[in-house]
Amino acid sequence: MSEASQPTRIRIEPLEPALAERAQDWARRLGLPLEGEADFALQLGEQGLQLVDLGPQAPGPVRVDFVEGAAAHRRLYGGGSGQMIAKAVGVQSGVRPVVLDATAGLGRDAFVLATLGCEMTLIERQPLIAALLEDGLARARSDLEVGLIAARMRLLVGDAIALMNAWGGEPPQVIYLDPMFPHRDKSALVKKEMRLFRPLVGNDLDAPALLEAALVLASHRVVVKRPRKAPIIDGPKPGYALEGKSSRYDIYPLKKLSV
């Protein structure tokens, strides 16, 4: 479970009167008020949902956008199957693994893999982050260019360990884990998101149990993304690792991926 913290007050806010009814739907789904004192606001505007810290000197709002911005730039210029994440999950000529991203967050890594042709299942346990992700996926599916990519991404909301332990049907070939960690990529975007989400999520204290469940379920490999200098997760040692400037992918091979 995530690190314990003081209760965080959150409200839903429509940014336009015409969106009041949809905001009420989100309030009902998430069990959140539409008014009152709050530390955070989940705001619904014409561009979709965004999460805002209402405190002084807070970072700007965070939303999921797979159509424009950083996601579009990486989709067009990110290096394709030569990217380290693609190599880590086993993307190769004629091979596009079926992947479960069990710590989906805002879906950035899952979108990269879906762009490359992988069928993705995403699990996110924090309801507000899952709401942002659901909203971003819905908007992406209605886009002419990105719709086919977003159609490869299926979102599940809940505890990843419980969902993996009760998995029905064909197991994913690859399970991808990126547990929350005290230090991360130092880019301004990631720092803003970490500052916003830390009070809601905390650090993942169940990463060893997450890895254990993943190793039982995955048919071919488990991949764990870590900050480059972070220790490995407690448990079995990875077979090998791929290391970049700020991140490292610890790879636990179970069976060879082939065409």
- Binding-site positions for S-adenosyl-L-methionine read 108-109, 124-125, 178
State how far the Cα of 86 lies from the Cα of 208, in Å rounded to an integer: 24
Are 198 and 205 contacting, i.e. CB atoms less than 8 angstroms apart? Answer: no
Are 101 and 176 contacting, i.e. CB atoms less than 8 angstroms apart? Answer: yes
Strands across the sheet with 174-177, in order? 153-157, 120-124, 99-101, 174-177, 221-227, 247-253, 240-243
- Distances from the Cα of 214 to the Cα of 65, 210, 225, 227, angstroms: 28, 6, 14, 20
Question: Which of 166, 151, 153, 173 has the alpha carbon at shortest distance from 221?
Answer: 173
State how far the Cα of 80 lies from the Cα of 18, in Å rounded to an integer: 40
The C-alpha angle with vertex 43 and arms to 37 and 46, in degrees rounded to 5, equals 150
Q: Which residues are annotated as a binding site?
A: 108-109, 124-125, 178
